[in-house]
């Protein structure tokens, strides 16, 4: 809204309000009906009444006065409407109302109005009002029609808003919340409600600013992990600091959201944080999110399972914790015909490709896909062969966050037809590359 805007949008409670309507024709009929529906007590002044308005007067729904307008008709009124076919009468009503500081609306003459009536869309539990300040009623009606066609969608969003309100977190509790793969539209309803009601949000660099902006402006935002600084001894120190911060803020009586990319229990250290909170006697809850593999696969059109191509999905961590004394992956037990989704694998693309070919015995021509910034506007999808994976990652300059998919389904693009010939037979380099 600009500084030139004349009208301030407001909703009034008209129950019991005294209103004067001057005029009793077609235009006045619509205004009278709407005003009565909102509880106003109406007096209608006109020389002649239309049949519907006459019926309202006879039934006692309005007080009818068969006479020309006189200034004293405004005595005791809370608002006035001029809706006659005579411009001079309408100007007289407007002038007298303004002189008495009574809000007045003149049908189709915004320059005579001290308030205007918007185009409205009514639904169960909500009302949407649209106005162009009286300058373009046709545009306002077009927007109203647009909204009318989408009332069901608005009703769904209204219900989501109600549920978010009901999901406000209690004080002194930590919520370990999955933020999903990055696109704010993929945040769960409960996660959004908790985020908006939190006193403090603890997050890492993988959570986009668009999601963080949904938190309350009053909430403290604390980022512990930075890009490229999430492994080794530094990672352990940061995790200890995260534990301490969650406990301290909860004991201060704050509602704390520990916001984690993807799902907190899928390579998100949510289990470790829950164990710590339990040991400290701090109430907590875990709110799942869409894990990166599911989000990136859907965004890239990769079916992780397919009746003809893959009957299993295996999630692998490309980076494992230091101090484990070796890998926890049994490479020989990886299903040869399943889909493998690798998290945090970009930095180890060369080693991963080697392990999958040498230890898991996957052919070098096994289809692979790399999805960088999955679900976001900056998403990139590159497809090729397992033996070529290191070159693909290096040439394209792929950086975290990125998911690696390995298996026949990686060559699929659900936006088009699945080409089984390419999936099963080609071994002459990259299957496809798209951005």
Active site residues: 204, 229
| Secondary structure of residue 360 in the 3-state scheme | coil
- Other beta carbons within 10 Å of 324: 8
Q: What's the rounded Cα separation, in Å, for the pair 414 and 235?
A: 38
Q: What's the rounded Cα separation, in Å, for the pair 152 and 129?
A: 17
Q: What's the rounded Cα separation, in Å, for the pair 315 and 61?
A: 69
Say which residues have a Cβ less than 8 Å from residue 146's Cβ, sequence separation at least 6.
none
Please answer whether residues 358 and 332 qualify as being in contact, where contact means their C-beta atoms are separated by less than 8 angstroms. no
The H-assigned helical ranges of 348-432 are 349-358, 389-396, 420-425
Closest CA to 16 of 106, 102, 76: 76
The H-assigned helical ranges of 202-314 are 209-212, 232-251, 270-279, 292-300
What token pair was written down for 116? 């205007």
- Other beta carbons within 10 Å of 97: 26
What token pair was written down for 197? 């009601």
Closest CA to 28 of 101, 92, 81: 81
Please answer whether residues 407 and 339 qualify as being in contact, where contact means their C-beta atoms are separated by less than 8 angstroms. yes
What token pair was written down for 254? 């704050």
């Amino acid at each position: 809204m600009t500084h030139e805007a004349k009208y301030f949008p407001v909703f009034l409670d008209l129950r019991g309000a005294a209103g004067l309507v001057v005029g009793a024709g077609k235009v006045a009929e619509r205004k009278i009906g709407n005003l009565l529906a909102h509880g106003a007590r109406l007096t209608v002044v006109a020389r002649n009444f239309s049949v519907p308005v006459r019926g309202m007067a006879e039934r006692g729904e309005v007080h009818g006065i068969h006479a020309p307008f006189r200034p004293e008709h405004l005595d005791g009124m809370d608002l006035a409407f001029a809706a006659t076919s005579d411009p001079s009468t309408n100007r007289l009503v407007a002038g007298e109302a303004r002189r008495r500081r009574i809000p007045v609306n003149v049908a189709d003459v915004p320059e005579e109005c001290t308030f205007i009536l918007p185009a409205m869309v009514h639904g169960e539990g909500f009302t949407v009002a649209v106005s162009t300040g009286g300058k373009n009623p046709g545009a306002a009606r077009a927007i109203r029609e647009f909204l009318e066609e989408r009332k069901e969608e608005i009703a769904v969003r209204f219900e989501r808003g109600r549920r978010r309100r009901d999901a406000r977190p209690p004080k002194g509790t930590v919520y370990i919340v999955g933020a999903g793969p990055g696109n704010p539209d993929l945040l769960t309803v409960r996660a959004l409600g908790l985020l908006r009601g939190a006193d403090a949000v603890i997050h890492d660099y993988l959570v986009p600013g668009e999601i963080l902006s949904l938190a309350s402006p009053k909430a403290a935002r604390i980022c512990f992990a930075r890009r490229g600084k999430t492994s080794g001894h530094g990672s352990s120190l940061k995790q200890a600091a995260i534990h301490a911060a969650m406990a301290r803020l909860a004991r201060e009586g704050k509602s704390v959201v520990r916001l984690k990319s993807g799902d907190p229990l899928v390579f998100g250290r949510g289990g470790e944080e829950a164990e710590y909170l339990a040991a400290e006697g701090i109430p907590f809850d875990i709110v799942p999110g869409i894990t990166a593999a599911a989000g990136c696969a859907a965004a890239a059109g990769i079916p992780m399972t397919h009746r003809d191509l893959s009957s299993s999905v295996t999630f692998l961590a490309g980076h494992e914790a230091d101090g484990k004394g070796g890998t926890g992956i049994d490479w020989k037990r990886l299903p040869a015909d399943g889909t493998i989704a690798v998290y945090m694998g970009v930095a180890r693309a060369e080693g991963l490709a080697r392990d999958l070919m040498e230890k898991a015995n996957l052919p070098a021509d096994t289809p692979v896909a790399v999805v960088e910034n999955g679900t976001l506007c900056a998403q990139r999808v590159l497809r090729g062969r397992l033996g070529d994976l290191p070159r693909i990652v290096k040439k394209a300059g792929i950086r975290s966050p990125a998911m690696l998919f390995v298996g026949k389904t990686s060559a699929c693009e659900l936006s088009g037809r699945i080409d089984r010939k390419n999936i099963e037979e080609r071994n002459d380099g990259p299957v496809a590359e798209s951005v």
